[in-house]
């Protein structure tokens, strides 16, 4: 599998990211001299980590027949100033899920942790904190 995104400078402080089915305006935050006309790349990174975890969990829920009562996630990308500018030092993910079948839910969470490609990539590059709250 391969995913391609075309990025075109907007003539100012950002770009247009052309994805397979839509476009996203990406911009530099105002604190870095940008116009903040769209989300910054770091916010999209947090969204990618969280969305990958959620969609991977949903994949395993479908495969195992798990019925979820609720599922929410919140992702945070933390930057840290270093010798060569800013780096992503930490990505935190908080997931809340509920189901009547706790055993299946825990199995799906374990599979998600093992197979989610973006969280696996991030954990090699930055500190990745995943906090999961499971409810019946």
Beta carbons within 8 Å of 17's beta carbon, 6+ residues apart: 5, 6, 7, 23, 24, 25, 26
**Cα separation, 74 vs 106, whole angstroms:** 19
Residue 136 pLDDT exceeds 90: no
Share of the chain above pLDDT 70, in %: 100
Q: What's the token pair of residue 37? A: 């006309």
Do 65 and 107 lie in one domain? The reply is: yes
| Crossing angle of the two packed helices 102-115 and 41-64, in degrees rounded to 10 | 130
pLDDT of residue 135: 85
Q: For the residues 112-135, what does the mean pLDDT come to?
A: 94
- 60 and 20 within one domain: no
CATH number of the domain at 77, please.
3.30.300.20
Please give the tally of structural domains in the chain: 2
Element (H, E) at 111: helix 102-115
CA–CA separation, 115 and 31 (whole Å): 36
Same domain, residue pair 18 and 82: no
pLDDT at 68: 96
**How is residue 79 written in tokens?**
């930057």
* pLDDT surpasses 90 at 17: yes
The answer on 100 and 126 residing in a single domain is yes
Say yes or no: 34 and 45 in one domain: no
CA dist., res. 110 & res. 64, Å (int): 13
What residue ranges in the chain does DSSP mark as E strands?
6-9, 14-18, 23-27, 68-82, 85-99, 127-135
72 with 128, same domain: the answer is yes
Judgement on whether residues 72 and 48 belong to the same structural domain of the protein: yes
**Tens of pLDDT, residues 54-85:** 999 999 999 999 999 999 999 999 999 989 88
Please give the residue range of the domain that contains residue 35: 1-39
Q: Are residues 54 and 114 in the same domain?
A: yes
- With 90 as the cut, is the pLDDT of residue 117 above it? yes
Question: Domain check: are 35 and 46 in the same one?
Answer: no
Predicted pLDDT of residue 36: 96
Q: Are both 128 and 64 inside the same structural domain?
A: yes
Residues 48 and 25 in one domain: no
């Amino acid at each position: 599998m391969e995913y391609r995104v075309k990025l075109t400078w907007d003539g100012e402080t950002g770009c247009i990211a052309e994805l397979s089915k839509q476009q996203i305006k990406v911009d530099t935050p105002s604190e870095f001299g940008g116009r903040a006309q769209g989300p910054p790349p770091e916010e999209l990174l947090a969204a990618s980590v969280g969305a990958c975890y959620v969609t991977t969990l949903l994949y395993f829920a479908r495969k195992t027949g798990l019925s979820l009562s609720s599922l929410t996630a919140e992702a945070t990308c933390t930057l840290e100033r270093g010798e060569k500018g800013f780096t992503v030092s930490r990505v935190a993910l908080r997931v809340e899920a509920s189901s009547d079948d706790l055993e299946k839910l825990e199995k799906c969470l374990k599979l998600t942790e093992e197979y989610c490609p973006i969280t696996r990539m991030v954990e090699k590059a930055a500190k990745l904190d995943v906090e999961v709250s499971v409810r019946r």
